[in-house]
Structure formats: C-alpha cells, structure tokens
Amino acid sequence: MNNLEIIRGDTVDLALDFGTSIENAVVFFTAKANLTDDDADAVLKTEVDTHTDAVNGLTTVRFDAADTDALEPGTYFYDIQVKYSDGAVESWKHSKMVVIADVTRRTA
C-alpha cells in the first residue's frame, strides 16, 4: 500500500472508493504511533457512517485542520476498516501515515 502523506495543520479529505456497496456500513480510520497501541491512544481517528454515494461504495474521510494541528511530524501506522450492515468487518487498507511539518503556523 502507498503511504499517506499529510501536512500538519491542513484539512484532509480522503476520497475512498470501496468498489462495492457500503450502505448502512461504518468506515473507521485509525492512526497510531505504534501498532500495539490501544485505539484509545490513537493520534488520529474517526468513524464515517454518512457516505458520498453508499450504493457505489464512495465515501470521504475528513479531518479538519484542528484535528491534524496537534500531530507531531513523523511516521505513524494507519488502517481503514469497514463494518458492513451484516456485521462483517474488512480491513480495507493499511500502511504508514507520514505527517510533514508545516512551514506556516499562522492562519490569521
């Protein structure tokens, strides 16, 4: 899988295409410093249950600037899991997330 690169403090929209219906499914994104860390210790996480086009498997995972602003530059582990309406869970993607330091820290 390809690494995900984000710039600290930026708004991030990850457009995902699962290629199959995700109606009534929940998409989980979790990023951690260590694979063995508990989900409660994740540096970045969210759940998405409202999708762009659920019938065609399209959704967007969004992190606002406030979500990414506290991230320390470095490399983390992340995955994306889907829990389908029938209860089945699929790990859809996993790799490393590289957080790049931003140059501009002011936005006003």
Domain with residue 71: its CATH number is 2.60.40.10
Residue 1 has pLDDT above 70, yes or no: no
52: closest CA among 62, 63, 44, 66?
Answer: 62
92 assigned to some structural domain: yes
107 assigned to some structural domain: no
Please compute the mean of the pLDDT values over residues 81-92 and round it to a whole number: 95
| 35 torsion bin: left (phi>0), alpha (psi -120 to 50), beta (else) | alpha
pLDDT of residue 9: 94
| Count of beta carbons in the 10 Å neighbourhood of residue 80 | 22
Q: Please, are residues 69 and 12 in contact by the beta-carbon 8 Å criterion? A: no
Average pLDDT, the chain: 94
Q: Please, are residues 25 and 54 in contact by the beta-carbon 8 Å criterion? A: yes
- What pTM was estimated for this model as a whole? 0.91
89 assigned to some structural domain: yes
15 assigned to some structural domain: yes
Question: Residue 56: which domain range?
Answer: 4-100
Please compute the mean of the pLDDT values over residues 34-49 and round it to a whole number: 96
65 assigned to some structural domain: yes
90 assigned to some structural domain: yes
Q: How many domains, in total, are found in the chain?
A: 1
51 assigned to some structural domain: yes
Query: What does the alpha-carbon distance between residue 97 and residue 78 come to, in Å, rounded to a whole number?
Result: 6
Q: Please, are residues 50 and 61 in contact by the beta-carbon 8 Å criterion? A: no
Handedness of CA 81, 82, 86, 88 (dihedral sign): negative
